[in-house]
Each structure stands twice: as C-alpha cells, then as structure tokens.
C-alpha cells in the first residue's frame, strides 16, 4: 500500500484481498482511465482485460494523444461495479453497494510480440469464448491496434456490501421501508446483423450471456 | 466545443444534441471524476445528479483532499453507459455500443443555501421518488455533507448504437454469427433491512425499479 492508495475515508471498506480485486475486474466491463494532458485532468472510458497481474487497456474514445505516449504515461484507472441501491430511512444514510478499484501506475504500449495475447485477454474479458469463434486478427489489424498495459501493483479496492446503517438517534420514520435493491446487468435478445444469414446459430459466446 | 472536447477519434460518433447528453446522464448511475493531485492523475467513482445545466457530484470514496478544495478544482468527469456488446466476425471489428460524456471544468462546493436542493437532485437521480418518502436531512447532516457542482458547458458526447461494421475484404468466416447483444441493468428482489418491520410495504421508489 502506498500513500496514494491508503484509504482515508471509510477505511473499513478497504480490502487487500486479491480475490476481491480479481472478482471485481471480472464482473465489470468498462474502465475509466485518467491522465494529465497539458496540466489538466482527462478521463476516458476504455475496454480492458486482465492477465494475472497485468491490466490491459484498449482505447475506444479520443485516445490519440493518450496512446501516442510510447514511453509510458502516468495514469489512474478506476473500475467500478454498482451492486445495489441502499435505501435507508433518511437520505443522509442512503448509499450504494459497490465494488471499486483504483489503480495507479504507468501505462505502456504492449510490445508487438505480446499484442495478440493482450487483445485476446480484452476480447475474452468482454465476450468470453469469442476469440476462438472468429478468425484471428491479421498482421495489418494488429499493427493498427494499440493496447496499453499497467501492472496491478498499486491498487486500492473498496467494497460496500451491506444493508443500510443508521445513526441510532436519527428520528427516522419507522413506517418507511429500509433495505437494499440489488442491481445486475443482463443481456437482452440478441439482434442478428444483416451480415449473418438467419440459418447461422447463436454461438456459445452469445448463449452464455443469456 | 473547445479544443479539448473536439473528438479526434471516430468523430462521427460525436453529438451536440443536448437530449443525448441528458438521456445518458439520466440512465447512468455513477460518474468517474478525475483530478490532478501532487501532479499525478486520480480518478474516483462518485454519485451524481443533474439540475438543468449543473452536474452535482457527491463523494463516496477517498475524497478528502478532493473535497477540501473550496476554491474549485479542475476536473474531468466521465459518465458512461454500456448499451450492448457488438459481435463482428473478427475480433478487430468487434465493439461495444455505449453512450459516454466527458465533462471538463472546475468543480466547486455547492453553497449552503443550495445544498439541500443539490442533495435532492442526487437522491432523486439514484432513487427517483425517494426524497419525499423519508425525513429531510437535518442541519447537522447537511453540515457534514459536501456536494460539488460543475457546469455542463464543456462536454463531449459520443454514442455508438449500431450493428457490427466490417471491412469489405476482411476474409470473415461467413458461418460465424454477427450481431448485437443489448445489455441493461435490472433490479433484483428487494432485501428488507432488519430496521424495517415486515408489515411495511415496499415504497413507490422501490416498486418503480422492479
């Protein structure tokens, strides 16, 4: 734990359990990557994947200047999973159940000889099973792709996973309901592209989401 | 549009439609707030709400140094909503459907005389209808709460909402399925707190989520 990953607010929500970090990363689909450009902060959503202790980031938006930094760029990456809404009998004690990781470090471009493996990790994170269902990336596609990597060394993980807490003397209305409404992300009906003949069956990667 | 909100990558995904921004903000529940501390970037998840052209941010994690900046802090705020997974017949053309806004500006603490209204906006954003179901915050609770506000003046919005695109000569396997799997967040069965008697009915704010 470094000075900047020390949790100062509600430290009881912090955890050093690597399983908590990995489970959160497995369940979330988007990372938010912050960096400093011309002295001001920028944050962008990116796809990500994980391989052991490495976080892979795959740019999707406005990442030009970002990805140009071949020598590494200091970043902070947040991955957050909202698990539920916490209804207390006061707005003050209302909350959210969530798991969140904040990573600090230098993101560097994945070298060419590991780029395909990194892309595989990102693809399999978002669409488990998909990599083996379609053709591999061509040399031209690989050359046109940048993936960044960041070691998961300096990480702060916070988890809130309980019902509402209330101060004992809050004067709450005891006729008000208190509890948790869990939230989860679900897949809807797959929408076949006109690229695909209607006789093509749903692949395993799609069926596993349903 | 400023230099830093000009979309350089896939500019066709940018939109200036205020309705797109407002709809995205209404549908998302977490904002990621980046700022610069001691020269390095920090990004944290926060709850948020909106009132017209103002974005309200309500700290939930490690926000001590952040919230201490009474004079305003330069931030970048991303709100992202993942709408679906886009399965192309190559990993290179696979993608995600999403809506994302990135806001730049100075966040300042909401003054005392507007703090309750700002908290109401945050609460009603996360739990519509809840504000009127429970007691209002006490003077002591208000004093213990910091809400930041940020004008929605410098904003970049990107939207991807289509099926897979593929280069015409990609050599795709035509027996592979292509399409979109939509994603949405749903509420599970409410979990009543031991604080609440089992005779207390589910309130409208919870029922509207189910």
Which residue, among B195, B199, B200, would best test binding to A if mutated, counting the most A CBs under 10 Å from its CB?
A: B195
Beta strands in chain A (DSSP E): 14-15, 31-37, 40-51, 54-59, 73-87, 95-109, 147-151, 154-160, 179-187, 191-192
Residue A154: its pLDDT value, please? 96
Question: B190 at the A interface (CB within 8 A)?
Answer: yes
Residue A101: its pLDDT value, please? 97
Residue A61: its pLDDT value, please? 43
Are B145 and A92 within 8 A, CB to CB?
yes
Using CB atoms and an 8 Å cut-off, which of residues 66-95 of chain A contact chain B?
Answer: 74-78, 80, 82, 84-85, 87-92, 94-95
Residue B94: both structure tokens together: 């696979």
Q: What percent of chain A has pLDDT over 70?
A: 90
Residue A115: both structure tokens together: 């780029």
Using CB atoms and an 8 Å cut-off, which of residues 191-210 of chain A contact chain B?
Answer: 191-197, 200-203, 205-206, 209
Residue B173: its pLDDT value, please? 76
Average pLDDT, chain A: 89
What is the pTM (predicted TM-score) of this model?
0.93
Question: Among A141, A152, A143, A148, which Cα is nearest to A68's?
Answer: A148
Residue B133: its pLDDT value, please? 95
d(CA A27, CA B159): 23
Residue A62 has pLDDT above 50, yes or no: no
Q: Which residues of chain B have pLDDT under 50?
A: 61-62
Q: When comparing pLDDT for B24 and A69, which is higher?
A: B24
A77-131 residue pLDDT tens: 999 999 999 999 999 899 999 999 999 999 999 999 999 999 999 999 999 999 9
Residue in the structure block whose two tokens are 């607010």: A9
d(CA B210, CA B198): 19
Question: B117 at the A interface (CB within 8 A)?
Answer: no
Residue A174 has pLDDT above 80, yes or no: no
Residue A59: its pLDDT value, please? 72
Phi first, then psi, for residue A11 (nearest 5°) are: -60, -20
Question: A128 at the B interface (CB within 8 A)?
Answer: no
What are the structural domains of chain B?
3-165+196-207 (2.30.110.10)
Alpha helix stretches (DSSP H) within B6-62:
18-27
Question: Among A42, A31, A154, which Cα is nearest to A104's?
Answer: A154
The ipTM (two decimal places) reads: 0.93
Residue in the structure block whose two tokens are 């003397």: A169
Residue A169: its pLDDT value, please? 63
Question: Among B81, B91, B88, which Cα is nearest to B25's?
Answer: B81
H/E element, B43: strand B40-51
H/E element, B97: strand B95-109
Q: How far is B179 from chain A (nearest CA, A)?
A: 4
Test B184 with A188 for CB contact under 8 angstroms: yes
Q: How many residues does chain B have?
A: 210
Residue A60 has pLDDT above 60, yes or no: no
Question: A34 at the B interface (CB within 8 A)?
Answer: yes
Residue B44 contacts by C-beta under 8 Å, 6 or more apart in sequence? Answer: A78, A102, B32, B33, B59, B61, B62, B63, B66
Q: How does residue A24 score in pLDDT terms, banded at 50, 70 and 90?
A: very high
Q: What is the mean pLDDT of residues A23-45?
A: 94
Test A9 with B64 for CB contact under 8 angstroms: yes
């Amino acid at each position: 734990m470094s000075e900047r990953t020390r949790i100062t607010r509600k430290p009881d929500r912090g955890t050093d359990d690597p399983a908590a970090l990995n489970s959160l990363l497995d369940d979330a689909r988007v990372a938010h990557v912050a960096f400093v450009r011309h002295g001001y902060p920028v944050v962008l959503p990116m796809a990500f994947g994980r391989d052991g202790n490495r976080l892979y980031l795959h740019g999707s938006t406005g990442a030009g200047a970002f990805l140009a930094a071949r020598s590494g760029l200091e970043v902070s990456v947040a991955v957050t999973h909202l698990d539920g809404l916490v209804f207390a009998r006061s707005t003050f004690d209302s909350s959210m159940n969530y798991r969140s990781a904040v990573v600090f470090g230098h993101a560097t471009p994945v070298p060419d000889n590991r780029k395909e493996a990194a892309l595989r990790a990102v693809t399999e994170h978002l669409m488990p099973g998909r990599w083996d269902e379609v053709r591999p990336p061509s040399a031209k596609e690989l050359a046109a792709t940048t993936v960044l990597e960041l070691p998961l060394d300096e990480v702060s993980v916070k988890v809130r996973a309980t019902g509402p807490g209330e101060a004992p003397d809050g004067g709450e209305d005891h006729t008000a309901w208190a509890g948790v409404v869990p939230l989860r992300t679900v897949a809807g009906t797959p929408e076949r592209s006109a690229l695909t003949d209607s006789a093509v069956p749903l692949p395993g990667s799609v069926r596993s989401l349903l």
